[in-house]
Structure 1
Amino acid sequence: MNMIKTAMLIAGMTALFMGVGFLLGGRAGLMIAFAVAAAMNFVSYWNADKMVLRMHHAREVDEHTAPDTYRLVRDLAARANLPMPRVYIVENDQPNAFATGRNPANAAVAATTGLLRRLTPDEVAGVMAHELAHVENRDTLIMTVTATLAGAISMLGNFAFLFGGSRDSNGNGNPLGFIGVLVAMIVAPFAAMIVQMAISRTREYAADRRGAEICGQPLSLASALAKIAGGHTLNVDAERNPATAHMFIVNPLSGQRMDSLFSTHPDTANRIEALRALAAEAGPVTIRGRSAVPAVGGAPRRKGPWG
């Protein structure tokens, strides 16, 4: 299903890109836009993960440079029967995390220094398990591709604003070009919102649930979400690249708490409530045939390999 959604998204964004190109430059603009869109689609499939990591100045770590974080991800990946992803740390005080990559074999997970510093080990485990759930569900491909294409559309809007298009080669008014500029300028600010709407918010609920199953402690993930949403600070890289906002576990631009047609994430309070309901369900949480006692009230908590 995600592959179908990805194909539909790529087709829709390509058509939008070409349409704006036609309005800006006629048939020549259409062909140029098609060529650019085709190149962007190719590049985004193979290299969008690297581009996103570069946007946020993420640095790769290993068991020597960040042993605790690396071991935590390794243990969680083993629990989920996933290949070991690459692990990155982003120097940012805002507590947050995201996953990227075209498939589980080429995945990466990233956590900010604010997340690692402000959250407990169990809460960090819940967050990273959530990101691994996105990897397992193959959400990362569509999340990464949308980020790249949204950035391309925003760039097109900036190009239209700078170079115009409202006059023809003789310097006369060009109504079609003027419309193209307006369309591009309107699309640019809302490009991120449009493509993020293509990412179903139900995928966040699914990743929360699966993440809770992987780490074995729904309430630890619930507590982590509350801290992340409540600890919102400025994220300069996210502000510069708003098209990547949907990739984070909580919106890095606003700590968004409201469910709406245009929101990139579900209401954090609703997500926490769903996790509490999961923790309160009768019986232990199942983890791929194994069980773990959820941290409900005074119930004993399963001590994971991270401590």
Structure 2
Amino acid sequence: MFKRIMLFVLTNILVILTISIVLSVLGVGSYINMDGSLNLTTLLIFSAVVGFSGAFISLAISRWMAKMMMGVQVLKPDDPSLSYAERDLVERVHRLARAAGLTKMPEVGIYNSPEVNAFATGPSRNRSLVAVSAGLLQEMDDDAVEGVLAHEVAHISNGDMVTMTLLQGVVNTFVVFLARVAAWAVSQIREEFSPIIHFIAIIVFQILFSILGSIVVLAYSRYREYHADRGGADLAGKDKMIHALRALQAYTDRVREEDTSLATLKINSKNKVSLFSSHPPLAERIQRLEER
């Protein structure tokens, strides 16, 4: 759901900024010739190294970041203090994971939030995490929870985080490259621009282009949601997957009626999609499953 992709995008932007600042301070990867012109080949290589490094670092720490930022409490299968509901949640995820062909079971966790949400993340199929909100367990019945969990396990089985990382690496490469070209172009306007101004311009342009680049990543995320829905239907059954989506739709409708300001933070929009939506409309997802 919403958390998986947005946590990854935010982490990636922060990692790329950190790498860029450190390398700039250290003077690594100089791409400006002695005459002040740009060495585009050197800059492209530098951008690719930084871009893909940032994406893979973001992937490597994705599970840790999710636990830290969301306050996820990981449930240990052999913990005797687990409640019946917690143990049942772990067993459900592991059963679905085995059905999906995973050889190493995902970590399962709960985070304390009234929102109805769940997400799967992690650097690989063997080092993954499925986390659900307390609100989801309280609001949804067993069949709907099963459909949601199957959808998240399908994301892991499909390797969506890895393919997302490769795409993010390409986007990062263009972000780093274009930010430095733009900053260099600005520095040519007035000769008295100091290296500090040039550095600040790089950071500003990099943030701007990162936001624009996220449009591409989010578009791919919307595309992969349909695949995860189909995977969830295969694992839990088509009826349970559709029931889960209808339950989410009913929840978002209620949230929208109760507090419009909160609705923008939830799973997705009911009838339309924006460039910055991580998920397609629920109505369209339900329709595709029904027509399958």
TM-score by length of 1: 0.60
CA change 1:194–1:56 in 2 (3 A) is: farther
Does the CA-based 8 Å contact 1:193-1:264 persist in structure 2?
no
| SS at structure 2 position matched to 1:183 | helix
RMSD: 4.5
Partner of 1:44: 58
- Greater helix fraction, Structure 1 or Structure 2: 2
Give percent identity, aligned residues only.
28
| C-alpha distance in 1 between matches for 2:220 and 2:247 | 27
Partner of 1:299: none
CA change 1:119–1:148 in 2 (3 A) is: farther
Q: 1:126 aligns with which of 138, 142, 147?
A: 147
Are 1:266 and 2:280 matched, yes or no?
yes
Partner of 1:247: none
Are 1:226 and 2:249 matched, yes or no?
no
> Per-residue displacement from partner, 1:200-227 (whole Å, max 9, x unpaired)?
x3321111112111112x2322222233
Deviation at 1:196, TM superposition (A): 1.9
| C-alpha distance in 2 between matches for 1:79 and 1:251 | 34
> Per-residue displacement from partner, 1:161-180 (whole Å, max 9, x unpaired)?
xxxxx889xx9446983754
| C-alpha distance in 2 between matches for 1:261 and 1:185 | 17
Q: 1:69 aligns with which of 89, 93, 106?
A: 89
| SS at structure 2 position matched to 1:109 | strand
Partner of 1:93: 114
| C-alpha distance in 2 between matches for 1:254 and 1:73 | 21
Partner of 2:219: 197
Does the CA-based 8 Å contact 2:225-2:279 persist in structure 1?
yes
Deviation at 1:45, TM superposition (A): 3.9
Q: 2:158 aligns with which of 137, 148, 152?
A: 137
TM-score by length of 2: 0.63
Partner of 2:70: 56
> Per-residue displacement from partner, 1:247-294 (whole Å, max 9, x unpaired)?
xxx99556223245553212110111122234xxxxxxxxxxxxxxxx
| C-alpha distance in 1 between matches for 2:266 and 2:279 | 11
CA change 1:90–1:252 in 2 (3 A) is: farther
| C-alpha distance in 1 between matches for 2:264 and 2:119 | 10
Does the CA-based 8 Å contact 1:44-1:148 persist in structure 2?
no
| C-alpha distance in 2 between matches for 1:127 and 1:71 | 14
> Per-residue displacement from partner, 1:177-205 (whole Å, max 9, x unpaired)?
37546523533544543432343x33211
CA change 1:192–1:70 in 2 (3 A) is: same
Which amino acid in the other structure matches residue 224 of structure 1? A
Are 1:256 and 2:277 matched, yes or no?
no
* Count of residues in Structure 1 that have an aligned counterpart in Structure 2: 235
Partner of 1:283: none
Which amino acid in the other structure matches residue 59 of structure 1? Q
Does the CA-based 8 Å contact 1:97-1:111 persist in structure 2?
yes
Q: 1:80 aligns with which of 68, 86, 100?
A: 100
| C-alpha distance in 1 between matches for 2:170 and 2:112 | 25
| SS at structure 1 position matched to 2:61 | helix
